[in-house]
Chains A and B, each alone.
Chain A
Amino acid sequence: MACPSGDKVGEGFFPYLTASAAALLLLLVAGILLIVFRGAWPALHTFGLAFLFETVWNPVADVYGAAPAILGTIITSLLALALAGPLGVGTAIFLSELAPLWLRKPASFVVELLAAVPSIVYGLWGLFVLAPIMRTVVGAWLEKNLGFLPMFQGPSIGVGVLTASVVLTIVILPTITAISREVMRAVPSELREGMYALGATRWEVISRVVLPNSRTGILGALLLALGRAIGEAMAVTMVIGNANAIPTSFLAPAQTAASQIVNEFPEAFDLHLSSLFLLGLVLLVITLVINASAVWLVYRTNQNAGGALIRHER
């Protein structure tokens, strides 16, 4: 831990301070894991791995299967990512590369503000503004025109998978946009100029220089957003309809792991409580896996920089 420069006091003291902060953080994480695991143990002992696949969640009969909540979580967050990903990256391209200069700063500032809005506000907006529109306009249209497909089957009641996904889209959109814009801005202008000087158009500079040089960061932004969508509790709870059933239609009410915990935690005892802990543990594991794959992917794309990925683009 020897620093070649710096004063003696800082040298002796600072490494210990940072090391103990890091140790404290690790202890905290371990503690959280321990408590969640201990809470989840009775349910894990009772249901085992079947907990993940059982479709019945019934506190009255005291049987708990997490399949509806897990599926609900996966469907809503993936749908939100599918909607917010292209939109967010597109907006970032506009803000970083295309918008007139006078617009870039203020517009980016607004995006960053949106990222700081507490999600409960989006939840309220979803419940009072979006849900009625979903019921009478979007949902009704889908039901009428695509209702013959099981996944758009009615009735359209305003709250449900699609509404929750749209709210999640709005929750994660600023994150994707802000981070993507940031990493695109970080691409040195000399590289853009180098491509322009070869005779590239604006779009060619974006697709051949800006995007390839920021793809790692964009990927990070998308995974971060996915993690946020999976863990989001309040906003989703307000608009998903809270039904303990496997969602078969985008218009049907459903449940996510986080919304189930929020809804039932205050009144849960014994095995019910333990099952909620187990659900929390599942959530924790899923987010860990996503973050680990994010790190792995970022590592891999770094290794590949300039390699096969770009080779065959034309």
Chain B
Amino acid sequence: MAESVTVENLSFWFGKQQVLKDISLSAQAREVTALIGPSGCGKTTLLRCINRLYRLYSGASITGKITVGTENVLDPRIDQVELRRRVGMIFQKPNPFPHLSIFENVAAGIRLHGLAQGREVAERVESCLKKVALWEEVKDRLDRPGTMLSIGQQQRLCFARTLAVEPRVFLMDEPCASLDPVSTMRIEELIRELHKEYTVIIVTHNMQQAARISQQTAFVLNGEVVEVGRTAEMFVRTRDERTEAYLTGKMG
């Protein structure tokens, strides 16, 4: 049950520094939206607004509206725990919990929210690990630490961990940035599978990757969305010369 994400007139400040400037963007359900743009332009910040993870920062202020499904998630009355369950996040650096086994890493969110008990936990863990194509590789060592896996496997473990709490939206912050080409291909395959059921918003520095996996691309520059369009069209014919410059490697 994917939910669309709509960002309207979003502005964001770290103290006095304005990082996002009046951003409007809409990510359709069951589509992959890629965010591209030079380093420091505010892509990570934008993602973290959507699941309100920015609240961990000190001195952050925000205006505008972000709708996930039908709710404005910037409404202070919203249940943050429930929101983050619905909006899962994958980080740039795989971050499995080192004190937990492979099994318990996937079960962490299930236990956190009491989503299943007893045998049912194991069934869910298994099905999530299968979805990320990790089951065959780890089924004989589920009780080993999650950090024992290769980096690529760790990232897939993080996908499984997020899947286990049944989100509607996946936010991914350069999920392949620390992976080798083969692991990257496997994550891309996974994303192509996932977007059939979920809304995916992915930050990437890799243009080919954006072209391969996304349906929509937004180009962010200095905290503004300079251009949004269907990926297939955008990479053929950009409307904004700044996007053109970035895509052809004259910028960033």
Chain A residues engaging chain B, CB cutoff 8 angstroms: 101, 188, 190-201, 204, 208-209, 212-213, 305-307, 310-311, 313-314
Contacts and interface: CB of A to CB of B under 8 A. Distances in A.
B contact residues, range: 35 or more
Interface string B43-83: 00000000101001010000000000000000000001111
Contacts of A305: 98-99, 145
Given A199-B109, A213-B99, 13 more contacts: A190-B91, A193-B95, A194-B91, A197-B51, A197-B53, A197-B89, A199-B83, A199-B84, A200-B112, A209-B99, A213-B98, A306-B147, A307-B101
Contacts of A313: 111
Closest 4 CB pairs of A and B: A306-B145, A199-B85, A199-B84, A197-B89
A199 B91 contact: no
Contacts of A194: 91, 95-97, 158, 161
Nearest to B93: A190
A29 B86 CA distance: 60
B160 to A, nearest CB: 12
A314 B108 CA distance: 10
29 contacts: A190-B91, A192-B56, A193-B53, A193-B95, A194-B91, A194-B95, A194-B96, A197-B51, A197-B53, A197-B84, A198-B109, A198-B162, A199-B80, A199-B83, A199-B112, A200-B112, A208-B112, A209-B99, A212-B99, A213-B97, A213-B99, A305-B98, A305-B99, A306-B97, A306-B99, A306-B100, A311-B104, A313-B111, A314-B111
Contacts of B91: 190, 193-194, 197
Contacts of A310: 99-100, 104
Interface of B: 51, 53, 56, 58, 80-85, 88-89, 91, 93, 95-101, 104, 108-109, 111-113, 143-147, 158, 161-162, 165
A101 B58 contact: yes
B99 A198 contact: no
A79 B146 CA distance: 39
Contacts, number: 87
A199 B101 CA distance: 20
A193 B56 contact: yes
Contacts of A191: 95, 97-98
Contact of A197 (B88, B93, B96): B88
Contacts of B53: 193, 196-197
Contacts of B93: 190
B82, B100, B144 — most chain A CB neighbours (10 Å): B100
B93 to A, nearest CB: 6
Contacts of A201: 81
Contacts of B161: 194, 198
Nearest to B57: A101
B95 to A, nearest CB: 4
A208 B108 contact: yes
A195 B95 CA distance: 10
A200 B147 CA distance: 21
Contacts of B143: 306-307
A204 B112 contact: yes
A310 B103 CA distance: 12
A306 B104 CA distance: 8
B14 to A, nearest CB: 13
B56 A196 contact: yes
